[in-house]
Each structure stands twice: as C-alpha cells, then as structure tokens.
Amino acid sequence: MVNLTTSDKNVLETYKLTIKGLALLLGRQCEFVIHSLENLESSAIAIENGYLSGREIGAPITDRALNFLNSENEDTLTVKVYDTLFTSGKKARSLTVPLRNDKKLIGLLCINMNIDLSIAELSEMFSNVENIKNDNVTNTTEITNQEFFGQSIEIMMQNMIEQYCTEVANDINVPNLEKNKEIILRLKNAGFFNLRGSAENLAQRLSISVQTVYANIRRNS
C-alpha cells in the first residue's frame, strides 16, 4: 500500500472524468476501473460499466493487478495488454496502465473489453472508433489464467489460494514435502502477502501456523 498525499488523490480524481468519457466513447462493452494503491482491500475508487465483472466502487484489487505490481520494479512498470475471462466466462481483452503523480506510482487504470460479442454488438461498438496502434504497449494475447474480479477481498484471497494450491498440487516437479513452501513462494511472487490477513488465511488453508508462513516469506526474501 502507498501513503497518498492530497496532491496524489487529486491526480486520481482527474481520471474519474476520463473513464466516464471513455465509457461514453466505447459503450457498454468496456469496463473502466481506477484503482488507488492506498488501500488494496478496497482499491476501486471509480468504475464504469462494472456490470461486466459484477464489481462496484470499493471492490478490491485483482490478483492479476497484484501480480503486475509485484512483477518488476515500480519505476519500470509500463502499459500491459492481456487476455483474460470475466467471472461470467466471457472473454475479455484487458489493459493496465500505471498512474503516477510525477514519478510516484499512485494507482492503476484498468480497462476490460468484452470480446465475446455478436456481430451486431461489435458493429455498434466499433462503428465510430478508430483503431490506434501503440508500439510501446506490451501485448500478450493468450489466455493464461482467469482473473478474479471479486467484490470481497476475502473471496479474492481464497480464489488466489485455491488457484496456487491446485497448481502446486499438480506440479510433479515439486516434492510432496515441499508443496507448502512452493505455494508460499508462488503467492509471494504474485504479491499476495501485500493484502491484510493474507498470511492468516493461507495458514488456515494449509493447516500450518502463521509463524511458519512468515518464516518461509522471510526465507525467500
């Protein structure tokens, strides 16, 4: 989490009007979310067309956004495009943009476009929109994992835990005695432990102590 100044919050406020305009331009098949990094458990401070993911203002940050923030140095974070799935199972093309006040990372602008559309819906969506190519955008089009769009941070954490528990359980390269350590490591790399209560939730799921979780986190630091 980041301590935001009044100036930082004012910068984020300016993006609220931006996403309203984008929603008017691109229609109801694009969801726009502004995440503040001040409180990851309730990071969505503005949302347009939230019906696509079932979210409202106050929703937590997603696991994919956490991983994005944790994947590299925040000073080098750049725009990223990827494909994912809405909770409904519909395919989405997503864009994540770091928001800064001067050089300070203060939030994320996330755009999730429904690409499971009929010809009529596509025609309506793009009839007046020009396709603009940006060579500076990172584009990864294959769907790897579903992104968890949760209204509750508890549900989002449980989804992340179950995803990595299943992934490690099915990984024959990880010895049985090392499974828990590997789960903790992968969740750490995904930014999971930036969330309050994450260690306690994982300890309960793995039937180990919270101290054991923290010990493994420190060991892999």
Residue 200: domain span:
155-219
Flag whether 1 is in a domain: no
Task: Tell me the CA distances in angstroms from 49 to 25, 41, 78, 170, 199, one per residue in order.
Answer: 12, 21, 25, 37, 33
User: Whole-model pTM?
Assistant: 0.73
pLDDT category of residue 94 using cuts at 50, 70 and 90:
very high
**Arithmetic mean of pLDDT, 176-205:** 95
Q: Which residue has the tokens 């603009």?
A: 132
Same domain, 10 and 59: yes
Distance between CA atoms of residues 97 and 100, nearest Å:
10
Same domain, 197 and 215: yes
Q: What is the pLDDT of residue 220?
A: 79
Mean pLDDT of the chain: 86
Same domain, 159 and 146: no
Q: Read off the pLDDT of residues 153-174 as tens digits, 9 standing for 90 and up.
A: 888 899 999 999 999 999 999 9
